[in-house]
Amino acid sequence: MEPQTLFGIAVGTIFITNFVLFRFLGLCPYIGVSKQLDSALGMGMAVIFVMSLASAATWIIYHYFLVPESSNLFFQIFMKSRGNPPDLTYLRTITFILVIATLVQFVEMVIQKMSPELYQSLGIYLPLITTNCAVLGVSILNINAGYSFIQSLVNGFFSGIGFTLALVLMAGLREKLEMADLPGAMKGAPIAFIMAGCMSLAFLGFSGLKIG
């Protein structure tokens, strides 16, 4: 099911297995930040950046520190002469999330320096990228699919683009929706979810497509 060519990975993760509309990853910011187009776009950019870096960093950590293979650096430094490389894959979750938390901290500092307006408008949602399921999700998905370093990086980057696409589409719709006359109970989150459902339905049309 996982496409192997870089083109296949890229297009696949934007349309066929879109992170938000198909895999249900990255929903909290999706509902929270999608009220305005600019903040949605800014959030999307930050997430693309974090997802790409996270894919790269977690891949390296997994393949050089956790897997029970001879490439394992712990094995090379400490145990070369005796025994088998240790299988530390069960530490995957905890190391990945720590790497991601660190990355987000770093990105926060960079954005604060480079663009204080963006920093202000993103507000609380910037540190919340740490708990964005999409970031941890793509790291684990890369491992499960057995991707190489480049494939993981591409998957991370384009998954972020897929997330941003869904986010921006939703923000555009919600801006228009502000003017609409809705029944009271529907206002806010309920109609956002129903619209997400319609978008998901539309994207379902892509499913089953095989491209590489």
Question: Tell me, what DSSP letter sits at residue 182?
Answer: -
Instruction: Quickly tell me which residue has 């002469």 as its tokens.
Output: 81
Q: Does 26 bind another protein (CB under 8 A)?
A: yes
Q: Does 133 bind another protein (CB under 8 A)?
A: yes
| Radius of gyration (C-alpha) of the chain in whole angstroms | 19
Q: Does 200 bind another protein (CB under 8 A)?
A: yes
Q: Does 204 bind another protein (CB under 8 A)?
A: yes
Q: Which of residues 46-105 bind another protein (CB under 8 A)?
A: 90-94, 97-98, 101
Q: Does 211 bind another protein (CB under 8 A)?
A: no
Q: Does 120 bind another protein (CB under 8 A)?
A: no
Rounded CA separation 141/96 (Å): 12
Burial of 117 (0-12, 13-18, 19+ CB in 10 A): exposed
3-state secondary structure of 172: helix
Provide the token pair at 112: 């604060």
Selected from 6, 27, 41, 177, the binder of another protein by CB under 8 A is 27
Question: Tell me, what DSSP letter sits at residue 205?
Answer: T
Q: Does 154 bind another protein (CB under 8 A)?
A: no
Question: What does the binding site for another protein look like in residue numbers (CB under 8 A)?
Answer: 1-2, 21-28, 31-32, 90-94, 97-98, 101, 128, 130-133, 135-137, 140-141, 144, 183-187, 189-194, 196-198, 200-201, 204, 207-208
